[in-house]
Amino acid sequence: MRIACFLLLLSLPGVTPARADHDPTLLRDHGIVLMRHGGAIPAPPGTLAPVPGCDPGAVLTEMGREEMRRWGLALRQAGMPPVTLVTSHQCSAWETAMLLDLGPVIPDAALDPWDRAEAATRGEQLRQHVISLERARRQGAGAVILVTHRANILAVTGIEAAHGELLMLRADRGSLGLLGRLQME
């Protein structure tokens, strides 16, 4: 079943894994996912929030919106189970989560962007938060995708994620390990 879903994902136009040896169904079976929001730009002054309640500091570009719609469709067609999408309050992340259309969207301030002065302490806090969410997932809370920002993902994993890239993680004895990466072409 895993191989069939993985091969289906590989056959979809515009979708390729960053590493071909990782199966996208790992999310359902083993991990939690950090995702970088779709392509975005700083919002011009006076920009209205595209999603009620989000912070319009950065918004998706039209191409970013279309890519996230296609990415969500490709993941659903590949058999991605319903997930809870936990997102930062910034519109770029919140809108990404909604456009993926993979399940309910819940904002979480722990995923909000921070400034460089806060990076060390906030990075460790976010890492601990991801570990606690992965433990809850293992105890039956269900699969989770955390939609956040480049700097946050870098602080937690040391990985420079592309827009829309999924990093599948597993917590083990207080540390995070990378199970696999998936991204669009």
Domain boundaries, the chain: 2-184
Q: Which one, of 98, 115, 116, lies nearest residue 107 by Cα? A: 98
Domain 2-184 has CATH 3.40.50.1240: yes
pLDDT-based confidence at residue 21 (cuts at 50, 70, 90): very low
Phi then psi for residue 163, to 5 deg, are -55, 130
Phi then psi for residue 179, to 5 deg, are -90, -35
pLDDT in the model for residue 116: 73
Region 44-55 average pLDDT: 89
* DSSP for residue 145: E
Flag the least confident range among 28-37, 48-57, 107-116, 147-156: 28-37
Contacts of 163 (CB under 8 A, 6+ apart): 36, 37, 38, 39, 40, 64, 67
pLDDT-based confidence at residue 29 (cuts at 50, 70, 90): low
Tokens of 184: 């669009």
Please give the single-letter amino acid code of residue 95.
E
Contacts of 80 (CB under 8 A, 6+ apart): 24, 25, 27, 28, 102
Region 102-126 average pLDDT: 85
Q: Which pTM value belongs to this model?
A: 0.83
Find out whether 36 and 183 touch, Cβ atoms under 8 Å. Answer: no
pLDDT in the model for residue 26: 57
C-alpha–C-alpha distance, residues 161 and 45, integer Å: 28
Region 35-40 average pLDDT: 96
pLDDT in the model for residue 143: 82
Phi then psi for residue 166, to 5 deg, are -105, 125
Q: Which of 7-16, 22-31, 79-88, 91-100 has the highest mean pLDDT?
A: 91-100
Flag the least confident range among 72-81, 137-146, 150-159, 172-181: 137-146
More confident of the two residues 175 and 24: 175
C-alpha–C-alpha distance, residues 125 and 161, integer Å: 19
Work out the mean pLDDT of the chain and round it to a whole number: 81
E strands along 18-148, which residues? 32-36, 40-42, 58-60, 84-87, 105-107, 144-148
More confident of the two residues 124 and 115: 124
